Amino acid sequence: FGSRAIRRSSFGEFFSSPPSFHRLVCKMGYAGYAPGNRVAEALTPLQQALRSLPLEKAQEILELLEKVTRNVVRNPGEEKFRSLKLTNRKIAASVADAPSMVDALKDMGWVQEGEMLVLPPSVRLAHEVHVVGLIDAKDWWKKEAENEKRWQTRAGKLDDEQKEIIQKMELDRKEKEAEGPVLHGSVAKRLRDGSNIMRAGDVGIGKSSGGG
């Protein structure tokens, strides 16, 4: 994806694409692009998992993950904060909406044991890494939601313009049908003043050579 390999138009196609296409690129492991530059930065597995959430549920799931992570960071020795029941109603609903939530937890160090997720004693979650990472993901998804809204608005305007063009074309067609067919045969028309009309006889057509 070097700058030499990508035509200028490719960037236009990329940035004019819907946000869902951008999220697909992020799932491939790239943080973003800038015209004329190489890949800005590679995403970590945790970032990839957090950016694979469904847009409509992302903020809700990230809030839950942040709460779980903050509890562990503030109380690293509390066992009750180091285990999660996948059968818990709220957690089960979140996992059903976004299976990648479990991937995100595993990338933080959680281990699945049957219907439980457990954080081993050897794993230490850090505020500056894990909590901040979740906050960054929330900011990223907020921008994605704004981009999605702008794109939907722009797409709606395009649809309205297309509808208006079609309506005008249909109106023109009906007006032409109402006028009836246009005849292009040789039809004599009377003009304002016959004195300015040149007749065939004026140029000698139809007159005999004998002058009679």
Mean pLDDT by 10 residues, the chain (212 residues): 39 46 49 45 90 93 97 95 95 93 96 96 95 96 91 75 78 73 52 53 55 50
| 84, 30 contact by CB (below 8 A) | no
180: its two tokens: 């009836």
Helix H or strand E encompassing 118: strand 116-118
Residue among 130, 136, 124, 108 nearest 75 (CA) = 124
- pTM, to two decimals: 0.57
| Cα Rg of the chain (Å, integer) | 36
Given this model, what pLDDT does residue 59 score?
A: 95
Query: How close are the terminal C-alpha atoms of the chain, in Å?
Result: 92
Determine whether 187 is exposed, middle or buried from the number of CB atoms within 10 Å of its CB (0-12, 13-18, 19+): exposed
Given this model, what pLDDT does residue 88 score?
A: 94
Residue among 113, 25, 6, 19 nearest 58 (CA) = 19
Q: What's the CA gap between 71 and 51, in Å, rounded?
A: 22
Determine whether 57 is exposed, middle or buried from the number of CB atoms within 10 Å of its CB (0-12, 13-18, 19+): middle
| 46, 107 contact by CB (below 8 A) | yes
